Amino acid sequence: MSNKDLMQRKADATPRGVGVMCTFFADKAKNAEVWDVEGNRYIDFAGGIGVLNTGHLHAKVQAAVAEQLNRFSHTSYSIIPYESYVSVAEKLNQLTPGNFAKKTAFFSTGAEAVENAIKVARAATGRPGVIAFGGAFHGRTMLGMALTGKVAPYKIGFGPFVGEIYHAAYPNALHGVSVEDSLASIEKLFKFDIEAKRVAAIIFEPVQGEGGFNIAPTEWVVALRQLCDAHGIVLIADEVQAGFARTGKLFAMEHYPVAPDLTTMAKSLAGGFPLSALVGKAELMDVSAPGALGGTYAGSPLGLAAAGAVIDVIREENLLERSNKLGDLLKEKLHSLKRDIPQIADVRGLGAMVAVEFNQPGTHQPDAEFTKKVQSKALESGLILLTCGVYGNVLRFLFPLTIEDEIFAEALAKLEAALKA
């Protein structure tokens, strides 16, 4: 079995719209390393797009899922419930930001968690409108695409989208959007498009994922909280990519002095198994009638077993501390390369949620071509990197927080070589 043969079979059997970055096929993986079907080794700095904060096949996660698989794989929680749904919900109610009573519902994907957050907000307020932000990514479902603030490749050819969704500007100093500009764009929506009393929710990412790992300024998050309180709007934090120790806190919202009403999460929640969650104020979560939230596979017993283990691993292996340590080492390396790599326009990150943005030297013009070349050179050397950003000029780093020190050092050397090449 060769990668070339499998690529041809893929082209014949699967649609072009399911994009694939790598030209090789995975055979096995462990922690931060992946081997393809031909035995080639790669260091994984993509982590299944932020899913593997605890690494490929962490022993504790693997054991928890194996134990559950020996008992039962599925009943549909809405038909026959099981204790793990309740126990993991209890943990998340305690761990998520916000000093108020909370309740948790489980789903399968981040997009499902987001869609149900909007459902809860609309049901609780009796309002239709939702404000999201430019550069946001909230999923590929119809409502997820409507909320997403990035056209290519997610929205092309799929409209019309769900109505009553509006986009404001996300603050980004490098791109000339101040906190004041962003807040003014929301006020313009209130003046030009929808009155505040018809807005059910404002949804935002504390650190934008696909948008470029842009970090929300503290004063802006506080202002959003105040704005929502003033107008009776539900504030939703999308922590699908930023959650579970990636930013050096269990949740990115812990970096801020205010809490959201609802929090969505998925990806690294279950260490590689499909599971998402919506956690929120109990009075909001209880508005919907029985049967209004859920799904056939929502709250998979296998995913919940993995999630319980992931929460334990983060605590037992001090992954919050390690996230900050690894993030600091990576940022230090990138900053040290600025003199040799004039394309580096910005290095940013909370904890290990780090990105580097490239512009054409001496200008403010995004350099997507250079970004792709670095990604390609890194892949040739065995390092898997992801790009992001509205202009495609950002490299983001989503390595497992459990990565061994020597493998992390090897990866940084490969990154430096790719940048210099």
Mean pLDDT (whole number) for 377-394: 97
Q: What is the pLDDT of residues 257-310, one digit of tens each?
A: 999 999 999 999 999 999 999 999 999 999 999 999 999 999 999 999 999 999
Fold of the domain built from segment(s) 62-317 = Aspartate Aminotransferase; domain 2 (3.40.640)
Q: What is the DSSP string of 270-330?
A: GTTS--EEEEEEHHHHTSSPTTSS--TTTT-HHHHHHHHHHHHHHHHTTHHHHHHHHHHHH
Residue 125: what pLDDT? 98
Q: Do you know the residue count of the chain?
A: 421
Mean pLDDT (whole number) for 114-141: 98
Residue 216: what pLDDT? 98
Q: Is the pLDDT of residue 243 over 90?
A: yes
Q: What is the pLDDT of residues 342-367, one digit of tens each?
A: 999 999 999 999 999 999 998 999 99
Residue 250 pLDDT grade (very low, low, confident, very high; cuts 50, 70, 90)? very high
Of all residues in the chain, the percent with pLDDT exceeding 90 is 98
Q: Give the residue ranges of DSSP H helices in 70-141.
A: 83-95, 110-125
**What are the residue boundaries of the structural domains of the chain, listed by start?**
3-57+318-420, 62-317
Mean pLDDT (whole number) for 127-148: 97
* Contacts (Cβ under 8 Å, ≥6 apart) of 101: 93, 281, 282, 283
Mean pLDDT (whole number) for 93-122: 98
* Contacts (Cβ under 8 Å, ≥6 apart) of 264: 110, 113, 114, 117, 236, 237, 238, 239, 240, 276, 277, 278
Residue 147: what pLDDT? 97
Residue 249: what pLDDT? 98
Q: Is the pLDDT of residue 396 over 90?
A: yes
Mean pLDDT (whole number) for 216-243: 98
CB 271 within 8 A of CB 309: yes
- If you average pLDDT over every residue of the chain, what do you get? 97
Mean pLDDT (whole number) for 361-376: 96
Residue 421: what pLDDT? 93
Q: Is the pLDDT of residue 1 over 90?
A: no
Residue 152: what pLDDT? 87
Fold of the domain built from segment(s) 3-57+318-420 = Aspartate Aminotransferase, domain 1 (3.90.1150)
- Strands of the 41-44 sheet, one edge to the other: 26-30, 33-36, 41-44, 383-384
Q: What is the pLDDT of residues 139-152, one digit of tens each?
A: 999 999 999 999 98
